[in-house]
């Protein structure tokens, strides 16, 4: 969930030799970890789950998880991070929208990891895992194998396979027993969890809500809720390890290792709802003036239906082509689809010539049906959608009224 690139810590401008040395050192980290575990007392070795507070970027809004390995006797302190990706990858934006983004496991010294989150103002919480010596060795071996070049890359899935679920699964795999998590405090959906972390970012919440469909409003079970780093942290705090002969807490101790405060950033001065209401008011004014004059300016059609079509390109692409979870059940495709964008030249031509346009009849029927069915389709819509739909509906009603008044 959080971009943590080694280029942030080792400036690549220095020398090509330094870059190759850096890559070589990271490749042998895993081997050194297991060797030193066998060579030293395991009592001093700690393996912990790290949970990082949300950042301000959209990809960091939900926090981050990683695994920390500490071996004081060998002066080793590393972070295994499943959240590494690069914007410089070919076709990154297209692959991200399509749901084909590849993330990978990276390893960095803890001091650099700590410095990165302190700099961005995100606190980091550490939960020391209550593992036996054999489980510590197994977990490091699993991470070492996962860090091999052939194994480190994985296909990212926001809800089901991300930095948090990967860390959880590796930890569980290393335990000779079963981790029993506490029951959920209250029923929540995937969208409910998302909204907890987008509450202070209205535009991000609006954009995410436009993309996610009805499946995001399904109830998330305990494991499903663990896609969120802080939900994982909460469940880990109350979990127990059931081994053959003992039952022990999953977490031995927990504390804050980075105590930081984010600077508040000023967002856009208008919220999505304010913009949508403003658009609705302008639509009413334009239509009222159009009714008096006997025509609606084609420029307004170009703006409002062009925006509808542009938004529809994104929603429809996600609906039909993306493999992201929940986007294929999005009822907003009824309102936001590319048809207005493709039809816009014909619409403008007919509007200028005063010809009958069946598109507005179809648009009124579609939008009316959509607004009536909104409460019943099992999808929780962002309320901003309603004034947007009314703006489009009023504009099409205006066209129909003006044409009928002229020809009846």
Per residue in 150-173, pLDDT (tens digit) is 999 999 999 999 999 999 999 999
pLDDT tens for 6-15 read 333 333 333 3
For residue 300, the Cα-to-chain-centroid distance in whole angstroms is 34
Token pair listed for 13: 């401008």
In 3D space, the residue among 143, 125, 10, 121 whose CA is nearest the CA of residue 64 turns out to be 125
Give mean pLDDT, residues 289-312.
91
Q: In this model, does residue 1 exceed pLDDT 70?
A: no
Q: In this model, does residue 25 exceed pLDDT 60?
A: no
User: How confident is the model at residue 99, as a pLDDT?
Assistant: 85
**Which residues, including other chains, have CB under 8 Å from residue 30's CB and lie 6 or more apart?**
107, 140, 143, 144, 145, 147, 148
pLDDT tens for 327-362 read 999 999 999 999 999 999 999 998 888 888 899 999
Q: In this model, does residue 37 exceed pLDDT 70?
A: no
In 3D space, the residue among 370, 362, 408 whose CA is nearest the CA of residue 389 turns out to be 370
Residue 67 — φ and ψ, nearest 5°? -115, 130
User: How confident is the model at residue 200, as a pLDDT?
Assistant: 81
Give mean pLDDT, residues 50-66.
89
In 3D space, the residue among 359, 363, 338, 337 whose CA is nearest the CA of residue 348 turns out to be 359
Give strand pairing partners of 69.
47, 78
Give mean pLDDT, residues 61-82.
94
User: How confident is the model at residue 31, as a pLDDT?
Assistant: 46
What CA–CA distance (Å, rounded) separates 174 from 131?
9
What CA–CA distance (Å, rounded) separates 290 from 166?
58
The confidence band for 40, taking pLDDT boundaries of 50, 70 and 90, is: low
pLDDT tens for 224-252 read 999 999 999 999 999 999 998 899 999 99
Q: In this model, does residue 66 exceed pLDDT 70?
A: yes
Gap between the terminal Cα atoms of the chain: 60
The confidence band for 41, taking pLDDT boundaries of 50, 70 and 90, is: low
State pTM to two decimals: 0.84
User: How confident is the model at residue 52, as a pLDDT?
Assistant: 96
Q: In this model, does residue 298 exceed pLDDT 90?
A: no
Collapsed DSSP state (helix, strand, coil) of residue 278: helix
Mean pLDDT for the chain overall: 87
Give mean pLDDT, residues 310-330.
93
Q: Burial, 91: exposed, middle or buried (Cβ in 10 Å; 0-12, 13-18, 19+)? A: exposed
The confidence band for 266, taking pLDDT boundaries of 50, 70 and 90, is: low
pLDDT tens for 190-227 read 999 999 999 888 999 999 999 999 999 999 999 999 99
Q: To the nearest whole percent, how much of the chain has pLDDT over 90?
A: 69
Q: In this model, does residue 59 exceed pLDDT 90?
A: no
For residues 95-106, b (16+ Cβ closer than 10 Å) or e, as one string? ebbebebebbbb
Task: Please indicate whether residue 265 or residue 284 has the higher confidence score (pLDDT).
Answer: 284
SS3 content of the chain, % helix, strand, coil (to 5): 55, 15, 30
Collapsed DSSP state (helix, strand, coil) of residue 262: coil
What CA–CA distance (Å, rounded) separates 223 from 232?
9
- 340 neighbors 308 (Cβ within 8 angstroms): yes
Q: In this model, does residue 21 exceed pLDDT 50?
A: no
Q: In this model, does residue 69 exceed pLDDT 50?
A: yes
Q: In this model, does residue 46 exceed pLDDT 70?
A: yes
């Amino acid at each position: 969930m959080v971009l943590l690139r080694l280029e942030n810590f080792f400036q690549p401008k220095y020398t090509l030799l330094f870059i190759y040395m850096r890559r070589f050192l990271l490749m042998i980290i895993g081997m050194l970890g297991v060797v030193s575990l066998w060579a030293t007392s395991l009592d001093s070795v700690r393996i912990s789950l790290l949970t990082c507070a949300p950042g301000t970027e959209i990809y960091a809004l939900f926090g981050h998880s990683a695994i920390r390995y500490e071996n004081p006797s060998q002066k080793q302190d590393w972070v295994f991070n499943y959240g590494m990706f690069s914007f410089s990858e070919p076709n990154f934006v297209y692959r991200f929208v399509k749901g084909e983004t590849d993330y990978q496991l990276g390893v960095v010294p803890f001091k650099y990891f700590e410095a990165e989150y302190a700099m961005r103002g995100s606190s980091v919480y550490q939960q020391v895992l209550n593992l036996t010596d054999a489980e510590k060795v197994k977990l490091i071996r699993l991470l070492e194998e996962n860090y091999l070049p052939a194994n480190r890359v994985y296909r990212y899935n926001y809800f089901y396979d991300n930095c948090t679920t990967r860390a959880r699964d590796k930890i569980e795999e290393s335990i000779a027993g079963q981790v029993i998590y506490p029951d959920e405090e209250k029923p929540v959906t995937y969208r409910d969890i998302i909204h907890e972390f987008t509450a202070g970012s209205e535009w991000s919440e609006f954009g995410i809500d436009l993309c996610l469909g009805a499946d995001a409003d399904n109830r998330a079970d305990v494991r499903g809720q663990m896609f969120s780093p802080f939900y994982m942290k909460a469940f880990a705090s109350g979990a127990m390890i059931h081994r053959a002969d003992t039952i022990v807490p999953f977490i031995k101790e927990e504390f804050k290792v980075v105590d930081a405060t984010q600077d508040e950033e000023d967002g856009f001065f208008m919220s999505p709802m304010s913009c949508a209401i403003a658009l609705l008011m302008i639509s009413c004014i334009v239509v009222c003036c159009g009714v008096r004059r006997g025509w609606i300016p084609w420029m307004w059609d170009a703006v409002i239906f062009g925006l509808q079509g542009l938004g529809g390109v994104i929603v429809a692409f996600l609906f039909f082509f993306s493999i992201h979870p929940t986007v294929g059940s999005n009822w907003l495709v009824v309102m936001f689809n590319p048809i207005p964008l493709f039809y816009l030249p014909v619409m403008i031509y007919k509007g200028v010539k005063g010809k009958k346009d069946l598109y507005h009849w179809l648009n009124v029927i579609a939008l009316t049906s959509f607004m009536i069915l909104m409460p019943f389709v099992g999808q929780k819509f962002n309320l901003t959608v309603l004034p947007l739909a009314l703006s489009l509906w009023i504009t099409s009603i205006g066209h129909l009224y003006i044409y009928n008044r002229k020809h009846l």
